[in-house]
Chains A and B, each alone.
Chain A
Amino acid sequence: MAARLTVDCLGLSFQNPVLVASGTFGYGDEYYDIMPFSRLGGLVTKTVTAAPRQGNPPPRVVETDSGMLNSIGLANVGLEVFIREKLPWIVQHAGGARVVVNFAGFSVDEFIGVGAGLAGCRGIDALEVNLGCPNVKAGSIHFGADPATVREVIAGLRGEVGLPLVAKLTPNVADIAALAEVAVEAGADALSLINTLPGMKIDVKKRKPALGMAFGGLSGPALRPVGVACVYKVYRRLQEMGAGVPVIGIGGIATGPDALEYILAGARLVQVGTASFVNPLAAGQVVAELAAWCENEGIGDLSELVGVAHHGGN
């Protein structure tokens, strides 16, 4: 018998646990003819900000060992164009997939303004809050690095937005579980982890940083052990808190076994990111590999595996 891949999360039913991560599947239309996201658990959109953004000077991407660095600079069409031109197409083509809109602000007020603007739109199933964004009013330190601002952003949104709120956390902190706790206390319905790690590559031939902005965010398989560790830690903390808040695992997932690492560590859903650049069909293949693995292992319901690694496995 085929395994049940359906996952209940955020008060919604996901047809499978595999979503595509923000910034790696655009607005769903670019890859649709090749890999329709309607077959997946959901689409997380490219980060939306209040105003359109051109992004950073090139080079913006560079390969590293088992990964890549990016400094895109949140290039996006802006809230107004997103709502008018991108969102209706996504909603119309979503099929059974859930639509999660990722957004960011450069101040607490902007976060709340964009969130409130999205909250009134038809067809959005959940909002993912990109806390890896610089807080311009506080010396450009990332929102996600400071518990006080995480609390302010999430609590502020909670007061304005009825949609499920997913806080996407950065791993670039001393204790990600403490940040997770703050986000949950402030009203987050789920936690996505992790965002990219900061990194740099020096072009030895040119004797300067390979990226135009020098620093970038590391993604890809190199990030996976970090992501799995963060999910494991946060899941345990949430259990200790008695919070039934689900975790969404992100970081270097390209295959079914990669996704299973996150699920066993405590993730209810996963997101495939950079792997889609390498192979646009990757997310669909992860779904197929999860189904095949469950069948081989005699697992009737994939949800049974969430967090199993905390109990010594089998």
Chain B
Amino acid sequence: MIPVFRWVEVSDIRKMARSTYELSFPEPESASKIGPGQFCMVSPAPHTSDVFLPRPFSYYRVDGPGTIRILFRTFGRATRWMAGLAPGSRIGVFGPLGNTFTLAPQARRAILVAGGIGLPPMAMLAGRLDALDEPPEIDLIYGEQAGDRIVDVGSDLPGRVRLHLCSEDGAAGQKGLVTGLFRPLIAGCDSPPAVYCCGPGPMMAALAGLVSSENTALFEVSTEENMACGKGICKGCVIPMTTPDGSVSYRYCCTDGPVFNGFEVKWPHA
């Protein structure tokens, strides 16, 4: 669908975990047509912030009728500005942008792996996969560095989705990395599952090392890179891809992605 740029008023902002917030805003026309993996660009209203460029955020939840939620974590200037927003604050929203995850994975089982603030598209994907006429069995692995950053995603997930939590400090879920939870899950699959992933570059690169075309029916990742426009114009957000002859080939995170075939991404790209 055609993306729309509009000024909207923040409906709600809530702290979900340490440094982590959920921002809600209305999106009356496009909400029902947004796919998992797509994103929007969020910018401040003129003269309300020293933030200049818009920033990309994956959609987290799209509620009927027409409310959108994104999750963000304070990291730099833009997310600190966002953490200070309140209901009624005006923001610019441009979306939906980018492609979506494959929703017909041709697999009986789907393993979704979310690292840190890579959670939103994985949570949305879990819901959409579960809503299919013939849904796969769904496992969602979600890990954080620190347990106090774990977002309580369970209450938002369909009951059939199996949630596996881990944290590096062991304060919530199993102590360790998402790859530690992933290994036994994929080893226990009767047939190759679909694997979907969104998280920090090193985490996705580590996961890419555990999957192959033999043990996986589909491997899709959601990528991120600095971008100015979100619409293929600034040519800023290139993701290096592997080519048969070993040369570097660039694809654009915003319009070719953000979802790519994980077997084609040149890891680690970050």
Q: Hey, which bits of chain A sit against chain B, CB under 8 A?
A: 23-26, 30-31, 33-34, 46, 54-55, 57-68, 70, 72, 75, 220-221, 254, 274, 276-281
The 8 A CB mask of B219-256 against A (1 = contact, 0 = none) is 00000011111011111111110000000111000000
Given contacts A61-B228, A279-B43, contact A55 B238 (CB under 8 A): yes
Additional 9 contacts, C-beta under 8 A, given A31-B231, A34-B5: A25-B233, A54-B248, A60-B236, A60-B238, A68-B228, A72-B234, A277-B228, A278-B53, A280-B231
Considering only CB atoms, which chain A residue lies closest to B94 in the complex? Answer: A280
Say yes or no: B235 contacts A68, CB within 8 Å: no
> In the bound complex, how far is the Cα of B52 from the Cα of A281, in angstroms?
16
Residues of B within 8 A of A33 (CB): 2
Given contact pairs A70-B234, A278-B52, A59 touches B228 in the complex (Cβ within 8 A):
no
Contact A24 B238 (CB under 8 A): no
Q: How many A-B residue pairs have CB under 8 A?
A: 100
Chain B neighbourhood of A60, CB < 8 A: 226, 235-238
CB-based contact B228/A70 at 8 Å: yes
Is the pair A279, B92 in contact by a Cβ cutoff of 8 Å? Answer: yes
By a beta-carbon cutoff of 8 Å, the part of chain B in contact with chain A is 2-5, 43, 46, 50-54, 77-78, 92, 94, 225-229, 231-240, 248-250, 269
Contact A67 B52 (CB under 8 A): yes
Say whether B54 contacts A59, CB under 8 Å.
no
Q: How far is the CA of A72 from the CA of B46 in the complex (A)?
A: 26
Determine if B52 and A280 form an interchain contact, defined as CB atoms under 8 angstroms apart: no
Whether B231 pairs with A68 at a CB distance below 8 angstroms is no
Given contacts A55-B238, A70-B228, A277-B53, contact A26 B77 (CB under 8 A): no
B234 A30 Cβ-Cβ under 8 A? no
A61, B227: Cβ atoms closer than 8 Å? yes
* A26–B228 CA distance with the chains assembled, in angstroms: 13
Closest CB-CB distance, A301 to chain B, in whole Å? Answer: 29
> In the assembly, what is the distance between CA of A276 and CA of B53, in Å?
10
**In the complex the two chains form, what is the Cα distance from A26 to B93 in whole Å?**
21
**Residue contact A30 to B226, C-beta cutoff 8 Å:** no
Question: Are A63 and B77 closer than 8 Å at their CB atoms?
Answer: yes
Tell me the minimal C-beta distance from B76 to chain A in angstroms: 9
* B235 and A75 contact, CB distance less than 8 A: yes
Of B4, B78, B233, most A-chain CB atoms within 10 Å? B233
Interchain residue pairs A-B with the least CB separation, the first 9? A61-B236, A277-B228, A26-B233, A277-B229, A60-B236, A59-B226, A33-B2, A75-B235, A63-B53
Contact present for A59 and B52 (CB under 8 Å): no
In the complex, are the beta carbons of A58 and B226 less than 8 A apart?
yes
Residues of B contacting A278 with CB < 8 Å? Answer: 43, 52-54, 92
* B228: nearest chain-A partner, CB-CB: A277
Neighbouring A residues of B269 by C-beta, 8 Å? 58
Least CB distance, A262 to chain B, in whole angstroms: 19
Minimal Cβ-Cβ distance residue in B for A61: B236
**Smallest CB–CB gap between A83 and chain B, Å?**
20
- Give A70 to B233 CA distance when docked, in angstroms: 12
* Nearest Cβ on chain B to A135's Cβ, whole angstroms: 22
- Note all chain B residues with C-beta closer than 8 A to A30: 231-233
Q: For residue A46, which residues in chain B have a CB less than 8 angstroms away from its CB?
A: 235
Residues in A neighbouring B234, C-beta threshold 8 A: 23-24, 61, 70, 72, 277
Partner of B53, one of A25, A31, A68, A281: A68
**A67, closest chain B residue (CB):** B52
Contact B233 A31 (CB under 8 A): yes
- Rounded to whole angstroms, the CA-CA distance of A63 and B79 in the bound complex is 13
Query: By the criterion CB–CB under 8 Å, are B236 and A72 in contact?
Result: yes
Q: List 28 A-B contacts (CB under 8 A).
A: A30-B233, A31-B233, A33-B2, A34-B2, A34-B3, A34-B4, A54-B248, A55-B250, A57-B238, A58-B240, A59-B225, A60-B226, A60-B237, A61-B227, A61-B234, A61-B237, A63-B77, A68-B228, A70-B228, A70-B236, A277-B54, A277-B229, A278-B54, A279-B5, A280-B5, A280-B94, A280-B229, A280-B231
User: In the complex, what residue of chain A is closest to B52 when comparing beta carbons?
Assistant: A63
Chain A residue nearest in CB terms to B53: A63
Interface centre among B226, B231, B237 (most CB of A within 10 A): B226
Cα distance A25–B43 in the bound complex, in angstroms: 19
Give chain A nearest CB distance to B62 CB in angstroms. Answer: 21
A222 to chain B, nearest CB (A): 9
Q: Which of B5, B54, B248, B249 has the most CB of A within 10 A?
A: B5
Residues of B within 8 A of A70 (CB): 228, 234, 236
Asked whether A26 lies within 8 Å of B232 as measured between CB atoms, the reply is yes
User: Are A276 and B229 CB-contacts (below 8 A) given A55-B235, A66-B52, A72-B234?
Assistant: yes
A75-B236 Cα distance, complex, nearest whole Å:
10
CA A186 to CA B53, docked complex, whole Å: 39
Closest residue of chain A to B77, judged by CB? Answer: A63
Asked whether A61 lies within 8 Å of B233 as measured between CB atoms, the reply is: no
